[in-house]
Structure 1
Amino acid sequence: MGDERTTIASIGIDGFNLALPQGTGVATYGMALAQAVRSLGMPLHGLFGVPIGRDPRLREILFYEAMGRGMPPRRAPRWLRPMLDRVSVARGLRVAEVEDSGRIEREGFVDRLPRFDRLLSSAHLFEQAEHHFRRTRRFLDLELPDPPTIMHWTYPIPIRVAGARNIYTLHDLVPLKLPFATLDRKRFYHRLVERCVVEGDHIVTVSEASRRDIIELLGAPEAGVTNTYQHTPMPAALADEMVDVEAVFGVKPDGFFLFFGAIEPKKNVARLAEAFLSTDTPHPLVLVGGRGWQKDEELRLVEAAQRRSGASGPRIIQLDYLPRRLVMQLVRAARAVLFPSLYEGFGLPVLEAMQLGTPVITSNRASLPEVAGEAALIVDPYDVSALSAAIARIDRDADLRSKMRQAGLAQSARFSLGEHRRRLHALYSGVLAAPPR
């Protein structure tokens, strides 16, 4: 690690997803990115869009209130906000520093908020930037006092920090590859990611599959797109505690299958339920995830199965959002994780399962074979019969599950903190060596 440490650059990351109280895969990426940056010895700046008021004495209090309870609602009606944001941008957005007093109890945020060397916020920054981009088709130029050397946006956000090298992570192009599977407004999204390629000093992504898509669909130069992959930081308490999943969730260790993720079309939950119900396994399937759009269509079979539960209990158990700490406890106790997604930029559930020694069944699309390697059973996600056969096979073969646990642990080592740090160091060095846009 010694050769990679440097104090030449300070790195800024945005809090667009980190501020969401229930988290996202991109929020996990933000945590991983922050951990890797700090391990490189680089100062870490955080830029958020949280309203923290004008009184310096209350900024830290209001920031952590929003982190815990969610963003306070805007007072202006929705139809008036674009006009107000236009005026705010014209006058110049006010960015304030949130001082770390040491008086706020932060233990509850340890798994979802990085430790920043410097924390900045501007009220509703990301919404104002979106309104500005819709109106002008230009990125918002943001002036920061003493800006970071590199501003690493974890999401396609239409902002450029003046005086910094701005790089943008595009995790995938799912709205363009599977337009039927997302609610994104496709014209707006296409315009936004194209401008990231034009405006950015570099584009970052997390798999070779996504890198190919960015080059082919957006016309990005090959030298301007880097795949760093990523690692996944595990909850701090996971190594020290073992939750009794039978007492808490009513399932026995090694006695249930698990899917976790948003309930939305690209996750393929409807076909997963059909395939699972076609097996004769006595072990239930546990679904953990917030309900997204088209949830009724995706969950029709699930709800039908729950209505006809037998004496041994429901074959499918559905749980809404759980804290990541509890989800990882379920992953560690599962017989296998089932993740037959139609498309993923990376596929964190596959890596998280392998890292905890849990066998995985996943799909042969996009980045998932890259992440899984030869450590998982890989099937066509559209082939319900193949998925059903894979579930039955892994259920009946204890030796196979044992081999997959070992193979998964070995495969997950390819996506370690050390590997992520090495790739980031090469990325940042290359960005700083190139002339700025």
Structure 2
Amino acid sequence: MFNNSSKVAVSQTEIWLDGRNISRSGGTGIYYYASNHRSAIEKIGLQTAWLLEDTTGLPTYPTFQRAIRSICSYPSPISTASFQSQWGKAYLSHDLYRIAHLHYRTHGRILKLRPAIPPSIMHWTCPLPTLIEGCRNIVTIHDLIPLTHPDLTGIDGTRFYHLIKNLIENSVEFVAISETVRQQMLKFFSLSERQITTLYQPVEFDDGILEEIKNAPRIAPPDSFIFYGRVENRKNIERLLTAHALSQTNTPLAIIGPYGDDEPDCSPKGPTSTIIRLPWSKRLSLLRTLLEAKALLFPSLAEGFGIPIIEAMSLGTPVLTSKGGATEEIAGGAAYLCSPTGDITELVQGISYFDTLSPEEKKSIIQKGYERAKFFSTLHYTEKLKEFYFM
């Protein structure tokens, strides 16, 4: 059964975070979540460490040896001594996450780790088929799209469901990054209300970062429309392109990001439609494009949070996004909402609306965005995080 008695005093606490995504090139949504979460933990005076499976220059197990270890439920031991990785203090277990996935695929069971000295809290930044014994395990759930919209992702919904169910059976606690995701968890799984907590992601740009953004190399014309993120059908890309053409706007649309589970056709859908397709860009240049954009167009079909919405509002850029679900929740009344399906007229009208905004209307929208963005400040997040860990 779920037991919350493992909460400990601040002075005793070291919190480990999995490094499953922290070393991935280019950075993913979970990469930024993990990095920001670690910074927030340290802001409340706690020690952190990454649990890494490999680092540059350290060998991995051969495929055959990895398979044998997974079948025999024999993961590599976690190093007893920490080392300084490029992301901060870390412990190493060779091939940990690959072995864990092979073990789960073979046995259908969570791989249990037994470090010589476990942390006070192990916070997994996404669901993984491994846990640490002797400490409090917390798992962040970013979305339930494999269950709510299985046609929009390449993730196996059945395997995903059983992994979450097995984690629940192993008495973990969950963090949902939006109330939408929390309610979906309560709908799909048998768990108590107190076993899952909503902790919204922090989004904030301090003065130093803002100056770097303003001076970053420009990759798209100012006053363009912008969409950024993984470019896949879940993001409603082809519908967005069609609406852009139907609006007959002369404002270019920059679509920035790598392809995801599929590759929608990003060609213009009309003779007056100008599309700028950038598969990838450096983070600061991306944010400069967002800062200088006429509006963010984000009519996604399914999200767990929708971080571009708050990043745009934080930078003073108007936002168009989808009615319903996490996108409407995160926008909090400060965005132009349209239906992501059905009659495309709403999306066309939204694009035209931002094309013809008066200076007074634009100023009002930007101010509403700034006010909404304050809710996602680092200070607000650290206060909620400390309360979650220790109160």
| 1:250-286 deviation per Cα after TM superposition (whole angstroms, max 9, x unaligned) | 51x2x20000011112111111111111112211000
Q: Aligned ranges for residues 9-408 of structure 1 at < 5 Å?
A: 9-50=13-54, 52=55, 62=57, 75-76=62-63, 80=64, 83-86=67-70, 89-90=73-74, 92-96=75-79, 97-100=81-84, 113=87, 116=88, 118-232=89-203, 234=205, 238-243=209-214, 248-251=218-221, 253=222, 255-295=223-263, 298-299=264-265, 302-305=266-269, 315-382=274-341, 383-398=343-358, 399-408=360-369
Task: Indicate the residue corresponding to 1:435 in structure 2.
Answer: none
CA contact (8 A) 1:93 1:142 kept: no
Measure, in 1, the Cα distance between the counterparts of 2:337 and 2:282: 28
Measure, in 1, the Cα distance between the counterparts of 2:57 and 2:173: 34
- What TM-score do the two structures reach when normalised by structure 1? 0.81
CA contact (8 A) 1:147 1:163 kept: yes
SS of residue matched to 1:258? strand
SS of residue matched to 2:368? helix
| 1:372-426 deviation per Cα after TM superposition (whole angstroms, max 9, x unaligned) | 1121101111142101101100110133222111111110000111111121112
Task: Indicate the residue corresponding to 1:69 in structure 2.
Answer: none
What residue ranges of structure 2 are gaps of 5+ in the alignment?
1-8
SS of residue matched to 1:318? strand
Label 1:323 to 1:233 Cα distance change in 2 as closer, same or farther (>3 A). Answer: farther
Measure, in 1, the Cα distance between the counterparts of 2:361 and 2:330: 19
SS of residue matched to 1:338? strand
CA contact (8 A) 1:235 1:325 kept: no
The amino acid of 1:415's aligned partner reads F
Cα-Cα RMSD: 2.4
CA contact (8 A) 1:257 1:335 kept: yes
Task: Indicate the residue corresponding to 2:5 in structure 1.
Answer: none
| 1:106-127 deviation per Cα after TM superposition (whole angstroms, max 9, x unaligned) | 5xxxxxx4xx3x3012222111
Label 1:8 to 1:233 Cα distance change in 2 as closer, same or farther (>3 A). Answer: farther
Measure, in 2, the Cα distance between the counterparts of 1:287 and 1:199: 42
Measure, in 1, the Cα distance between the counterparts of 2:193 and 2:314: 31
| 1:126-166 deviation per Cα after TM superposition (whole angstroms, max 9, x unaligned) | 11111111222221111223221010101001111121100
Measure, in 1, the Cα distance between the counterparts of 2:23 and 2:220: 32
Measure, in 1, the Cα distance between the counterparts of 2:28 and 2:195: 27
Task: Indicate the residue corresponding to 1:7 in structure 2.
Answer: 11
The amino acid of 1:365's aligned partner reads G
Give the CA deviation at 1:292: 1.9
The amino acid of 2:110's aligned partner reads F
CA contact (8 A) 1:231 1:416 kept: yes
- What TM-score do the two structures reach when normalised by structure 2? 0.90
261-270 or 193-202: which moved more?
193-202
Measure, in 2, the Cα distance between the counterparts of 1:200 and 1:8: 22
The amino acid of 1:303's aligned partner reads S
CA contact (8 A) 1:171 1:205 kept: yes
SS of residue matched to 2:11? coil
% identical equivalent positions: 28
Give the CA deviation at 1:367: 1.0
CA contact (8 A) 1:394 1:400 kept: no
Report the count of equivalent residues: 380
SS of residue matched to 2:226? strand
Q: Extract structure 1 runs of 4+ deviating beyond 6 A.
A: none
| 1:189-235 deviation per Cα after TM superposition (whole angstroms, max 9, x unaligned) | 11011112222431111111100000011122111110011103549
SS of residue matched to 1:334? coil
Return the match for 1:423 from 375, 384, 387. Answer: 384
SS of residue matched to 1:38? helix
The amino acid of 2:356's aligned partner reads R
The amino acid of 2:30's aligned partner reads V
Measure, in 2, the Cα distance between the counterparts of 1:141 and 1:15: 17
